[in-house]
A and B are shown apart, each in its own frame.
Chain A
């Protein structure tokens, strides 16, 4: 029976072609510095522009040209790829616990990585907002509207998506603030999850389900992802609703010291991360809808875009080292809700 399977020349040829192109990506022989930045899903557009900005600035300093490669995916999967040997010199992930995982499961990242750059090593922050269909037909204003009978909520799976963990904690933070106790917060979040018809594995997948497939009434999204959807689909397709309480989402950056081959690469990688805090890079981040720290070179209209809202922080949950196992670990709150 095997020969009938092998009798598919089209399939074999295509497979060979794909394998070939993957193996023989051009390896430049010139002595230039190469960096790989392993990042999470919604930063594609920002880092494409930042890499160009950094490369220009770096060469203007009279340094050897630097080539920066990018990899994007679900934050947890990216962390695992680095642990399993993906040669990243820089990680820019969705949440600290994914970089903690690298530090714990390998010697690649310094244990005190989060103290090495300002603002908890988070050069930009974001928050969680609601993206609703134009005109807000279901009248969604705040978290309690999400558990009304006819409302469907789209959010990715917090086991695989960093953004989804922020969504989950934002919902929990609101509920705990309103009710004041943990049991009611858990009750609210489990009701909320019952309104979720699709659990995608990553934030970008969830956005696609909501925007392209037309599923659901509200998307829990990174603020930057929501603005991006608005920009790409036109302002007449969706509205952004900012809930009364949300969370300060800090997507941190770190140097993967274990993967630095020589001094030149180390210097470039360190500069790459420090330069994220420069006024130019900060202006770029805010133009890409991230809340950045330094507004000195940002356009006023970019700064004015972000509404004020009450933000809980990960410190309110005892930091990621406590929140991660409690909510998202094996047998944690998320597993309990779905009945392990």
Chain B
């Protein structure tokens, strides 16, 4: 079982290093969280999660992350397509700018966006007369999460678009397919796996986002209070169990969602027969 199937040397060492790194960095903190949950027991955990405020916060976090990631799915695909298929001045600059959300501390992004979208900000001033409020409302959370999630979709789809041979589209056209049909039957199926991966990563990233959101959301319980903030609030009350319960709930829901997305991937790959 542990014998390397490949003639390359170093399998044992490689696996050892990988497993210990994975254990220390990922598994131990998660195990600590799970351990807290086990000690607490399911009844007490359900008690912590049954309050309306906790449920509202969880629902808000997942809803906002889903909306933002869905937006990024469309917008990110379009952006990746333009950046890969067309040549225009400034393309490399825009391409580099896509990575900025990775590099910028999210608190900085949150403060900057709050300044722009607040009722006296540059955008907020234009939207206020129309009765649209972004900062200190749920829409503000969407805006912040779109910002953090965008590079995940663009960066996962880009290399795949790069590999699609334009000849496939030409072949499809010469066989009489309309542009829409080519897009639907040739391009999108090829991109679907990477789109789903990008969507899943953006979703997972935005569900847990804290730094940028707390500045732009109003943080009002049951309205604009995200689950990660509620975890912090529970910690401030020295209520570690309630904090762990919310953390575990988020972990469980995220895990289930990623599982569903992965299952869809497998199903999709079987259907087309290749990636």
Contact = CB atoms under 8 A, between A and B. Distances in A.
Decide whether A and B are members of one complex. Answer: yes
Interface of A: 1, 4-5, 7-8, 10-11, 14-15, 74, 76-77, 80, 101, 105, 157, 159-160, 196-201, 205, 212-215, 328-330, 335, 338-340
B52 A101 contact: no
B221 interface: yes
Interface in B110-133: 114-115, 118-121
A339 B51 CA distance: 9
B238 interface: yes
A14 B108 CA distance: 14
Nearest to A98: B236
A213 B115 contact: yes
Nearest to A7: B155
A201 B235 CA distance: 13
A198 B220 contact: yes
A10 B136 contact: no
A77 B236 contact: yes
A8 B236 contact: no
Interface stretch (B15-23, B96-104, B255-263): B96-104
The DSSP consensus for interface residues of chain B is: helix
B237 A8 contact: no
The DSSP consensus for interface residues of chain A is: loop
Q: Indicate the member of B118, B221, B222 with the most A CB atoms within 10 Å.
A: B221
B123 to A, nearest CB: 13
Contacts of B201: 1
B219 A330 contact: no
7 contacts: A11-B103, A74-B236, A80-B236, A157-B219, A198-B220, A199-B218, A330-B237
Interface of B: 51-53, 96, 99, 102-103, 114-115, 118-121, 135-136, 151-152, 155-156, 158-159, 194, 197, 201, 214-215, 218-222, 225, 229, 232-233, 235-239, 242
Contacts, number: 89
A330 B242 contact: yes
A13 B117 CA distance: 30
A214 B52 contact: no
A101 B232 CA distance: 16
A11 B219 contact: no
A105 B236 CA distance: 12
Contacts of A335: 53
Contact of A340 (B52, B121, B238): B52
Contacts of B152: 5
Contacts of B119: 213-215
Given A159-B233, A160-B232, A213-B135, A200 B114 contact: no
A247 to B, nearest CB: 21
A338 B218 contact: no
Given A1-B201, A160-B232, A11 B158 contact: no
A4 B80 CA distance: 13
Given A14-B103, A339-B222, A213 B118 contact: yes
Contacts of A198: 136, 218-220
Nearest to A334: B221
B103 A76 contact: no
Contacts of B53: 335, 338-340
A329 B235 CA distance: 12
B52 A339 contact: yes
A10 B236 contact: no
What are the 6 A-B residue pairs with the smallest beta carbon separation, nearest first? A214-B120, A11-B102, A213-B118, A338-B221, A76-B236, A198-B218
A205 B131 CA distance: 25
Contacts of B236: 74, 76-77, 80, 159-160
Contacts of B214: 201
B54 to A, nearest CB: 9
Nearest to B233: A159
Given A213-B115, A213-B119, A213-B121, A10 B218 contact: no
Given A4-B155, A201-B214, A340-B52, A10 B99 contact: yes
A305 to B, nearest CB: 29
A337 B235 CA distance: 20
B156 A80 contact: no
A337 B115 CA distance: 30
Given A200-B219, A213-B114, A5 B155 contact: yes
B215 to A, nearest CB: 8
Nearest to B214: A201
B232 to A, nearest CB: 7
Given A74-B236, A339-B222, A340-B51, 19 more contacts: A1-B156, A5-B155, A7-B155, A8-B102, A11-B102, A11-B103, A159-B233, A196-B220, A197-B218, A198-B219, A199-B220, A201-B214, A201-B229, A214-B120, A328-B237, A335-B53, A338-B53, A339-B53, A340-B53
Contact of B220 (A160, A197, A214): A197
A201 B225 CA distance: 11
B246 to A, nearest CB: 13
Contacts of B222: 338-339
Contacts of A329: 237
Contact of B120 (A5, A196, A197, A213): A213
